[in-house]
């Protein structure tokens, strides 16, 4: 996976999108229409009514990219290091809790 597309209300926050791109270390793609269910229904209706001859053509015509967030690689490296620490602490605590409980 080299990029991820996200939809829904959460993609309206620029800072949150920058953080997600940095944590994942991938491009984050935000479509112009972020309400995926509504857009999906419109695509289905367009193909069902023969406005488009295929889903591919409908998607190419109806889905547009609004923003692309590039990952801040220096932050990604820091998040990877923090994740390793988290995993270590989790494993140690899991063994301790299992020994007690």
How far, in Å, CA of 90 to CA of 101, rounded? 16
Q: What's the pLDDT score for residue 76?
A: 98
49 DSSP 8-state letter: T
How far, in Å, CA of 44 to CA of 59, rounded? 10
**Contact residues for 4 (Cβ-Cβ < 8 A; gap 6+):** 24, 26, 27, 28, 29
Q: What's the pLDDT score for residue 73?
A: 96
Q: Which is it for strands 27-31 and 65-69: parallel, antiparallel or unpaired?
A: antiparallel
The tally of domains found in the chain comes to: 1
Q: What's the pLDDT score for residue 83?
A: 98
Q: Is 84 part of any domain?
A: no
Could you read off the pLDDT of 37-94 as tens digits, one per residue? 999 999 999 999 999 999 999 999 999 999 999 999 999 999 999 999 999 999 999 9
Q: Is 91 part of any domain?
A: no
Rounded to two decimals, the pTM is: 0.79
Q: What's the pLDDT score for residue 94?
A: 97
Structural domain including 66 reads 3-74
Q: Is 36 part of any domain?
A: yes
Q: Is 100 part of any domain?
A: no
Q: What's the pLDDT score for residue 48?
A: 98
């Amino acid at each position: 996976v080299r990029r991820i597309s996200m939809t829904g209300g959460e993609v309206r926050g620029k800072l949150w999108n920058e953080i997600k791109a940095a944590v994942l270390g991938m491009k984050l793609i935000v479509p112009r229409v972020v309400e995926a269910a509504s857009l999906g229904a419109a695509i289905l209706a367009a193909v069902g009514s023969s406005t488009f001859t295929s889903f591919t053509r409908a998607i190419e015509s109806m889905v547009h990219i609004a923003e692309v967030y590039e990952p801040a690689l220096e932050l990604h490296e820091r998040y990877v290091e923090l994740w390793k620490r988290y995993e270590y602490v989790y494993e140690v605590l899991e063994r301790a809790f299992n020994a007690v409980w």
